Structure 1
Amino acid sequence: MTIRIFTAIVFLILIFTSTLARPDWVNLTGAETSPNIAEIYVLDDHVKLVLEIYVGNLEAFDELIPDDWLKDSSIKRAPVEERLQNFADNKFQFITDTGEKLSANLILLEPRLRIDRKSRFAGKINPYTKQRIPEAPEDKRVLYVEINYPFKSKPETLTIIPPLDEEGRALVSIGFIAYHKSVPIIDFRYLGQTAKLNLDWQDPWYTKFDNKNLTRHHKYPLMLYLYVEPRQVRLESLMRISDIAELTGFNVEDFNASVEDKHQLLIKHIKNYYANKETLQIDGDSFKPDSIRVEFLNATLSGLKVIDVTTAVDKYSLLVGVSQQYLIETLPQKIESRWEFFNQRIDRIPVIVTDPVGPLQGLIDKDDPEFGWQNYLKKYSEPVIHPVEDETGWSISIPFIGEIKLFNQMPDQQEALSIVDGVLENVRIAFIEKEPGNFSRELGKVISAKQADVTKNELAKLFSPKVTGGAVGAVQAFNDVQIVNLQELNNPDGFSTTVNGSAKISARHWGHVDQRLIKFQILLDLIEVNKQWHLADLTVIDIKESK
């Protein structure tokens, strides 16, 4: 049991430390690589079914095969309309709560190549099921079909019946996804048997299948995240736009306002609402946020996606993220908070608290809305800058006077690498500081004051890059740092070097970790002042993400 749990944990670590170019949520069912794919869209007056039928499974959907695809032209078949009706009545069925079987209208039918729905873990072992996650067929040929199933009145439920054998099991493997209007009801799952869908026309977010295995990863309309990090605490919330409007009392009176104007008004309203709220207690004292960031997101098959304020998105799938930042000097001993809003549809809210050790998930409800963090860290130490004191050149020690440097000397490769490593690490630690005054003070211990502003801007390209969702990433560690060349400076107390290396960039927000590995080449000018090495100048020659 211990080995199995450990394997699962390692596998999950691999999943949730995905790079920014990859999704923040990974489906382990393998349904998206199933030979046959069905996309189901429940719209206002019809159900739209989109099929990708694997060329090796065409017999299971024989009613849809065009006549000119048959090798034997003498085979007598029913007319297309009759075959299509038989398909709707007996093969791929949609039955309403009144017992009506929806008829079918063929919209499009043509040969295509299947959509490449890449799965990072296809072919690997699922640690929970111990089964190999399937890969997509090598033969990419499919019959692409679009069919509409119209209805006159909105049904309360839809029973979905795929092609079944005599024992009620799917004739072929079908991976499927379902939407109610713009809201994904599930992640990719297998449609292996009859599935009943309960439709909520007032708010499609709450449409769901009877089968609890048919669900989506972002199913909660309210989610809370508390991040406890060096120099800052962040409280982030994800809410439906209807919920945050109710919580904050937001209302747009100008119905002719553009999408961008409405979103900008909401952002301003939310910031004003939270600006004077003392939401957190840190070590017994109440604090207002030092800064507030608002983003718009929607739930997709690969996780949450941040969208631009100008983008029009169906209100049912739109989420509003609010990030409140609280600046701290050191990690506190205790953080407390109380959530005040629960809507009428849900009485529990997931809360994920993340500290330097990792995340811990819990739930709060109306009767117990308190949450927080207690400092149980045993091995944590505050990040501090350490002077880089690698000596180069020749020095002598004179009694009563001390050590005097006779002359400077260019460092060798190993000495230069040690100096570069130390200076880069100190700059990384300086960028942990969030309060502007503290940041300038700490960075001033590392860089020369002559070109501080110019150097700061260049350093930011490497040490605080913008990441997905408008957040700012941070360097977690440098790897494979190499000295390319060494050159003398006009200043005899320093040297110039071109450096290659890689860095792990990380940012936590909205409940997941964005990570990327970048490769860089930089030009550094380093000077020794009072026996300590400082950064005089830095130029970023190249930065690119490592695939």
Structure 2
Amino acid sequence: MAKRRHNLLTFFLKFLLAFTPLASADYLSLTGAETAPNIAEFAFEGEHLLLTLEISVDDAQHFWPALKGHGNLDRLVAEANEYSNINIQIRSDTGVQDPIDLRVDAATRSPRYSPFAGVIDPRTGRRLPSIPEDKQVLKVHSRYDLQGSETITVVPPLDHAGFSAATIGFISSHGAMPVSNYAYLSRSVTWRINRQDPWQTQIINPKIRRQLRFPLHSYLYIEPREIRHEIIFRPRDLATWSDKSFDAWLPLNELLAIQLRNDTLAFLQSRNLLAVDKKVVEPQATEVTFLRLTSTGFLPLEVNESIQLGALLIGYRARFPVDGLPQNVEVGWDLFSPFEERVPSLIQDPAGPFPTQLTPSLPTLAWQNFLTSYDEPTVSPVTHDTQGLTISGKGLGAIVAFAVLGVCVFRFRNAQNYLMSLITPALGIILSVSLAMQSSLAIRLPAPASQENEQFGEIIYRLLNELPDAYLERDATKLEESLSQLLTEQTLKTTRDALDPIFRPLTITGDRGYVSGISNLRIEKFEQTSSGERQTYRTLCTWQTRNEGPFWGHSDRKLLDIRAMLDLEEHEGTWKIAGFTPITMRESVEPQKTWRQDTQPANGSTQTGSTANATPRQ
């Protein structure tokens, strides 16, 4: 029963993650504590504990028992500020600590993302808590002296049974390093402080910790035009491997950033060699990115952002160009942290991600090509698809038979040998019909595109669906060659500049992703702008793009609504984009089901060749 319940919960979580369009976070809180009506944020800064509280008006009396309990927010704030303490106990190694200062204000509740808020829990059949509806809260700012203590215990307001009298969700950090994700403060909780390395600061409770607690990570991305190996590690790991000193509280500055980049590139140049089809290859490009850990995963530092080395993470990326998917890829891993031997790893190919881990006994990151029905993404010109009249094998056979019979009758009309005049056409008819039955004849009829012709919508859809495959090319020359099959030569550069933001979209990590699907095409306006040898048309269209971008362990997925003006040109049966003017590009919560899809091919794929036909063999 326990196993069945666990499988059901796992399926439920996967279902939610798969169908949450804007779930760009990779490490999600599974407790739902971020939806609690009261939120506590504990931040250890130097020798002080900074406590920030958002308290619901309905629960204010639990934190200040002397309050009268009326619902007027301003009066509650005024009365609460009359007290120098709050009904939350902070214990250090030397005893109970009173706040150095405490201030209460009226404030608006901070927005917090929760993917499971308000949904049905499959384990119990009950609805999970939703985001609180009350937006006005009492906000408390307080500060406590740690006095050099190694352990700090927080006791919330308790009821007679020893549990928290109010529902409180909490999160904690040490400097810029997250210590724990959202959890419920149902009883007392104790932190063990590590002043030399905030990464090692932790809560003495195995069930309450940050979801990402390993210092080393390895990500291997197998893509149609590129293999990418990304490594995340700490400056302390680099200092340990290089036998150098480390100061966790040293702030990152420009000179230190240059030194860390140079040390990283020099150290990793001959490490973790990558082999493609049993042959060691050198990376075409390497880069170093500085990252920070948040409650939702790894994110690059902002420009000129200051952070202590103890909370800094170094991201190293090596790029290996390939012409297509290889048969196997191997990475020989030889870097381990002295604090944790396991290295969480992820291998992602067109069929999807595969999590694994590296250990000293299993130090090889290996990928084998098991894709049984995979088509390499290639760009094909969009030709003028004319209407056709197809004659089947039976119809063709009948035509051939009558033709042979007519020829024979005309040839032997004056023959004296009646037997030969009958046998010859009979044998000719049988042989001709048997050959004609093996094939069919297609006769193409001209059909110019028009607003009433659904064929024009199919031409636009095919052009838009070919563009993502072209943008998979990493080499600038190959990219231009692919785009030249879809864009006119005269406007190639200007049109490409307008297409780049849509078909090379920015991800949450700041890297360039790709478009994995085009759907819900609708033609709003259509007109022919010129006729003659080169027919040109202008159309106002709306459609949706499904954007993806796997970087630094993130699997960023977004659905965008696009509205743009397209200029199309037809020359010698080939259609190309002669101009592209984006009008709006906005994030969509869900597919626009109200959009008409009569201009989109009924059997047209909405996936690019990189993922649509990828099926792993079991």
CA-CA distance at 1:443 after TM superposition: 2.2
Q: Which one is further off, 171-180 or 448-457?
A: 448-457
Aligned to 1:399: none
Contact 2:55/2:138, CA 8 A, preserved across alignment: yes
Separation in 2 of the partners of 1:24 and 1:209?
22
Q: 1:392 to 1:493 in 2, by over 3 A?
A: farther
Give the 5 Å matches for 1:353-502.
353-391=347-385, 409-412=448-451, 413-483=453-523, 484-489=525-530, 492-498=533-539, 499-502=541-544
Which one-letter code corresponds to 1:492 in the other structure? E
Separation in 1 of the partners of 2:350 and 2:117?
31
Cα offsets for 1:301-327 (capped at 9, x unmatched): 333332234111122222122221111
Q: SS at the partner of 2:565?
A: strand
Contact 2:226/2:321, CA 8 A, preserved across alignment: yes
Contact 1:8/1:127, CA 8 A, preserved across alignment: no
Separation in 1 of the partners of 2:501 and 2:17?
30
Give the 5 Å matches for 1:101-500.
101-127=96-122, 131-152=126-147, 154-247=148-241, 259-271=253-265, 273-274=267-268, 279-391=273-385, 409-412=448-451, 413-483=453-523, 484-489=525-530, 492-498=533-539, 499-500=541-542
Q: 1:270 to 1:284 in 2, by over 3 A?
A: same
Q: Which one is further off, 103-112 or 419-428?
A: 103-112
CA-CA distance at 1:127 after TM superposition: 4.9
Aligned to 1:93: 89
Give the 5 Å matches for 1:66-81.
none
CA-CA distance at 1:386 after TM superposition: 3.2
Q: Which one is further off, 23-32 or 261-270?
A: 261-270
Contact 2:231/2:315, CA 8 A, preserved across alignment: yes
Which one-letter code corresponds to 2:88 in the other structure? F
CA-CA distance at 1:117 after TM superposition: 2.5
Contact 1:239/1:319, CA 8 A, preserved across alignment: yes
Separation in 2 of the partners of 1:112 and 1:523?
45
Pick aligned residue for 1:543 from 572, 581, 585: 585
Separation in 2 of the partners of 1:68 and 1:392?
76
Separation in 2 of the partners of 1:211 and 1:394?
72
Residues paired across the two proteins, number? 523
Contact 1:334/1:374, CA 8 A, preserved across alignment: yes
Q: 1:65 to 1:39 in 2, by over 3 A?
A: farther
Structure of higher CA gyration radius? 2
Q: 1:522 to 1:146 in 2, by over 3 A?
A: closer
Q: 1:404 to 1:524 in 2, by over 3 A?
A: farther
- Say if 2:35 is the partner of 1:33: yes
Which one-letter code corresponds to 2:146 in the other structure? F
CA-CA distance at 1:460 after TM superposition: 1.3
User: What percentage of residue pairs aligned between the two structures are identical?
Assistant: 28
CA RMSD, Structure 1 to Structure 2 (Å):
3.5
User: TM-score normalized by structure 1?
Assistant: 0.85
User: TM-score normalized by structure 2?
Assistant: 0.76
Q: 1:244 to 1:456 in 2, by over 3 A?
A: farther
Which one-letter code corresponds to 2:28 in the other structure? V
Contact 1:306/1:468, CA 8 A, preserved across alignment: no
CA-CA distance at 1:333 after TM superposition: 1.2
Which one-letter code corresponds to 1:144 in the other structure? K
Which one-letter code corresponds to 2:55 in the other structure? I
Aligned to 2:12: 7
Which one-letter code corresponds to 2:38 in the other structure? N
Which one-letter code corresponds to 1:57 in the other structure? D
Which one-letter code corresponds to 2:89 in the other structure? Q
CA-CA distance at 1:64 after TM superposition: 7.2
Separation in 1 of the partners of 2:272 and 2:205?
42
Contact 1:278/1:289, CA 8 A, preserved across alignment: no
Contact 1:93/1:162, CA 8 A, preserved across alignment: yes
Cα offsets for 1:403-445 (capped at 9, x unmatched): 9999884434412111111222222211111122322232233
Contact 2:344/2:357, CA 8 A, preserved across alignment: yes
Aligned to 2:550: 508
CA-CA distance at 1:528 after TM superposition: 3.4
Separation in 2 of the partners of 1:257 and 1:113?
33
Contact 1:476/1:503, CA 8 A, preserved across alignment: yes
CA-CA distance at 1:128 after TM superposition: 6.1
Separation in 2 of the partners of 1:363 and 1:405?
58
Q: 1:452 to 1:43 in 2, by over 3 A?
A: closer
Q: Which one is further off, 203-212 or 533-542?
A: 533-542
Q: 1:414 to 1:59 in 2, by over 3 A?
A: same
Separation in 1 of the partners of 2:178 and 2:445?
73
CA-CA distance at 1:331 after TM superposition: 0.7
Separation in 2 of the partners of 1:257 and 1:315?
6
Q: Which one is further off, 130-139 or 299-308?
A: 130-139
Uncovered stretches (5+) of structure 1, i.e. residues with no partner? 396-402
Which one-letter code corresponds to 1:26 in the other structure? L
Separation in 1 of the partners of 2:60 and 2:294?
30
Separation in 1 of the partners of 2:563 and 2:364?
48
Separation in 2 of the partners of 1:407 and 1:29?
63
CA-CA distance at 1:285 after TM superposition: 0.8
Q: 1:128 to 1:311 in 2, by over 3 A?
A: farther
